[in-house]
Structure 1
Amino acid sequence: MLTRQGWNCLAAGIIAIVIGRIFAIVELFVIGAGFLVAVMVALLFVRLRRPRVSATRWVHPTVLVAGDTGRVDLRLEYQDAIRSTSFELAERVSRANATDYVARLSVAPLAPGTRSSTGYQLPTTVRGIVQLGPLDVEIRDPLGIATTTAVAAGTDSVTVAPRTYLLKMPVLGQGQLGRHLVVQARRLGQGEFHGLRTYVDGDEPRSIDWKASARSENLFVKEHTVEGLKRCTVVFDANPTSYLDADGFERGVTAAASLVHSSEQAGLTTRFVTSGGIDLRGPETGANTLSVLARIEPDSSPLGQLDRDPGEGLGLIILVTGSHGSAGWRAIQAIVDPTLTTIGVTTDVRSRSAIGVSARSEVEFLDTWSAINGVGA
Structure 2
Amino acid sequence: MLTRQGIVAAVAGVAALVIGRMFGVIELFVIGAGFLAAVVVALVFVSLRAPSVTGTRWIHPKVLVAGDVGRVDLQLTHHGVVRSTRFTLHERIGRTHAPENAARLGVEPMAARSQAGAGYRLPTSTRGLVHLGPLTSEVRDPLGIARRFRPVAGTDTVTVAPRAHLLDIPTLGSGPLGRQLMATARRLGPGEFHSLREYADGDEPRSIHWRASARSETLLVKEYAVEGLRRVLIVFDADLASYADAASFERGVTAAASLAKSAGAAGLTTRFVTNGGNDLRGPDVAEHALALLAEIQPTSAPFGQLDRDPGEGVGLLVVVTGTTRSAGWRAASSVVDPTLTVVPITTDEAPRGPVGAAARTEAELVSSWRAITGRGSGVAAHRKRHETTGAVPGEQFTAPTSSGAP
User: TM-score by structure 2 length?
Assistant: 0.87
Q: What CA distance in whole angstroms lies between the structure 2 residues aligned with 1:284 and 1:182? A: 28
Question: Deviation digits for residues 69-122 of structure 1, max 9, x if unmatched?
Answer: 111122212122222111111010001122211111111111221122211111
TM-align CA RMSD? 2.1
Give the conservation status (yes or no) of the 8 Å contact 2:308–2:337. Answer: no
Q: What CA distance in whole angstroms lies between the structure 2 residues aligned with 1:177 and 1:129? A: 36
Q: What CA distance in whole angstroms lies between the structure 1 residues aligned with 2:296 and 2:280? A: 14
Alignment of 1:311-330 (within 5 A): 311-330=311-330
Look up the SS of the partner of 2:331 in the other structure: helix
2:281 is the counterpart of 1:276: no
Give the conservation status (yes or no) of the 8 Å contact 1:97–1:126. Answer: no
Name 1:45's counterpart in structure 2: 45
Alignment of 1:207-218 (within 5 A): 207-209=207-209
Alignment of 1:33-72 (within 5 A): 33-72=33-72
The offset of 1:135, in angstroms, is 0.9
Q: What CA distance in whole angstroms lies between the structure 2 residues aligned with 1:223 and 1:38? A: 96
Alignment of 1:109-128 (within 5 A): 109-128=109-128
The amino acid that maps onto 1:258 is S
Q: What CA distance in whole angstroms lies between the structure 1 residues aligned with 2:162 and 2:196? A: 49
The offset of 1:246, in angstroms, is 1.5
The offset of 1:307, in angstroms, is 3.3
Look up the SS of the partner of 1:118 in the other structure: strand
Aligned length: 377
Question: Deviation digits for residues 105-148 of structure 1, max 9, x if unmatched?
Answer: 11111122112221111112111111111111101000111111
Identity of aligned residues (%): 60
Give the conservation status (yes or no) of the 8 Å contact 1:55–1:75. Answer: yes
Look up the SS of the partner of 2:227 in the other structure: coil
Asked which structure has the greater RCO (Cα within 8 Å, sep 6+), the reply is 2
Alignment of 1:1-377 (within 5 A): 1-17=1-17, 20=20, 25-209=25-209, 220-375=220-375
Question: Deviation digits for residues 30-59 of structure 1, max 9, x if unmatched?
Answer: 333322221221111111211211112221
Question: Deviation digits for residues 164-186 of structure 1, max 9, x if unmatched?
Answer: 11111100010110011111111
- Tell me whether 52-61 or 132-141 shows the greater mean CA deviation: 52-61
Q: What CA distance in whole angstroms lies between the structure 2 residues aligned with 1:328 and 1:312? A: 25
The amino acid that maps onto 1:339 is T
Question: Deviation digits for residues 306-334 of structure 1, max 9, x if unmatched?
Answer: 23211000000111111112122111232
User: TM-score by structure 1 length?
Assistant: 0.93
Name 2:388's counterpart in structure 1: none
Give the conservation status (yes or no) of the 8 Å contact 2:354–2:372. Answer: no
Look up the SS of the partner of 2:304 in the other structure: coil
Question: Deviation digits for residues 186-215 of structure 1, max 9, x if unmatched?
Answer: 111123333344444444344345566677
The offset of 1:16, in angstroms, is 4.1
The amino acid that maps onto 2:289 is T
